[in-house]
Amino acid sequence: MSAIRRLYRGETRIDFIGSRKRWYLASLVMIVICVLSISIRGFNIGIDFKGGTQFQVRAANTSLTTTQVEQAMNSTGHQAEGAAQEVGSGATRQIVVKTHELNLGQQTEVQNKLSSQLHLKSDAISVDSVSSSWGSEITRKAVYGLLIFLVAVFLYIAVRFEVKMAIAALGALLHDLIIAAGIYSIVGFELTPSTIVGLLTILGFSLYDTVVVFDKVSENTRDLLATARMTYGEAANLAVNQTLMRSINTSLISLLPVAGLLFVGAGMLGVGTIKDLALILFVGLAVGAYSSLFLATPVVVDLKEREPRYRALSRRVQAKRSSQRLSGEPVLAGAAAGAPAAPPASTPPRPGARPASRGRRRP
């Protein structure tokens, strides 16, 4: 219980900055895995981006399988692109199969052949077609929107705080982007416009969490060079500990409803229309919380402690603490984790010395 109370009061002593190399290594491993998956597996790109024709077969109360629908599509003379997917359950169960872009005549022909092959009425199969030119336009706008967002983030943090914090925040956002995209590639969910919307949403959440920590770092380091009580890394580590509970609360409150969408709505109930958005939100929120605490602030510390003034500050702090140890004064060690300085030890009385009078001396 005492640990929980310290966590709520911001008095934890976790050494985020001192162990930053292990966080860098963990992030590097995740990035390598995600980049390999993107390079080898690629993405399951929806027709909204690449163009094509999609047939939705209403399979409620039938024994149709995705394999049967794929085979029926291939028998029409138009090859199915990717595996057919089953969405929904019970009365809303559907099987979706995609092929290359077809004109209106070809769509009608394929629709009739599918209904004949699958022994369904023609109105049980709906068609959705997107031209390749419209899909490329959507892709271009999505890329432009992402680039504009990243530039706006960099400029805001550079003006609000400083350029080094903007570099660290942008690095954390790119880290979140790569890992979220990599997990999307690994899982194989379809990349749709809702995925891009979710991606921009979680990048905004990650930015909010990072700005909260950076604000506390700026507050703790405002008069640091004048006082020389702690190094820049220790002050930044203190800031992360002080905002830790707020980050945990914000992340949990955001993750719980998204987890309900992903695991209950898409997983148990089979509502396939929300799984693309739910997955990107869940992964992005979790990775964004991680990067705000374990990546953004340590990168700022590495950049700031390369400055001559902060290197000189570290030497002054170490020299001051060495002199305090030699003189027997309390050393301000542990300030990085928010630990208060130890009180001076009481000196025992000399043998034979009279105790000091606490009362008022008589005249």
> Which range has the top average pLDDT, 34-38, 103-107, 130-134, 274-278?
34-38
Laid out side by side, the sheet with 94-99 consists of 85-87, 94-99, 52-58, 125-130
Q: Is residue 297 scored above 80 in pLDDT?
A: yes
| Per-residue pLDDT, 273 | 55
Half-sphere exposure of 35 (CA within 13 A, CB side): 8
23-82 tens-digit pLDDT: 999 999 999 999 999 999 888 777 777 778 888 888 777 778 888 888 888 888 888 777
111-168 tens-digit pLDDT: 888 888 888 887 788 888 777 666 677 778 878 888 888 888 899 899 989 999 999 9
Q: Which residue has the higher pLDDT, 338 or 263?
A: 263
> Which range has the top average pLDDT, 12-21, 165-174, 286-295?
165-174
Written as one letter, the residue type at 345 is A
Q: Which two tokens stand for residue 349?
A: 């009385």
Asked if domains 26-40+134-308 and 52-130 share a fold, the reply is: no
Average pLDDT over all residues of the chain: 78
Residues β-bridged to residue 94: 58, 87
Q: Which residue has the higher pLDDT, 7 or 304?
A: 304
| Per-residue pLDDT, 71 | 85
Q: Is residue 296 scored above 60 in pLDDT?
A: yes
Long-range contacts of 68-76 (CB under 8 A, 24+ apart): 68/118, 69/95, 69/97, 69/114, 69/118, 70/97, 72/113, 72/114, 72/117, 72/118, 73/97, 73/99, 73/110, 73/114, 75/113, 75/117, 76/109, 76/110, 76/113, 76/114, 76/117
Has domain 26-40+134-308 been given CATH number 1.10.3300.10?
no
Give the H/E segment covering residue 262.
none
Looking at CATH, the fold of the domain delimited by 52-130 is given as: Alpha-Beta Plaits (3.30.70)
Q: Is residue 334 scored above 60 in pLDDT?
A: no
| Per-residue pLDDT, 268 | 56
Q: Which residue has the higher pLDDT, 324 or 359?
A: 324
219-253 tens-digit pLDDT: 988 888 887 788 899 999 988 888 888 888 877 88
Query: For residues 107 and 111, what is the distance between their CA atoms, to the nearest angstrom?
Result: 6
Where do the structural domains in the chain lie, given as residue ranges? 26-40+134-308, 52-130
Query: For residues 286 and 283, what is the distance between their CA atoms, to the nearest angstrom?
Result: 5
Q: Which two tokens stand for residue 142?
A: 């999505």
Q: Is residue 325 scored above 80 in pLDDT?
A: no
| Per-residue pLDDT, 200 | 78
| Per-residue pLDDT, 135 | 64
Query: For residues 239 and 259, what is the distance between their CA atoms, to the nearest angstrom?
Result: 29
- Closest to 320 measured CA to CA, from 211, 259, 233, 231: 231
For 84-93, 198-207, 303-312, 347-356, which range has the lowest pLDDT when averaged over its residues?
A: 347-356
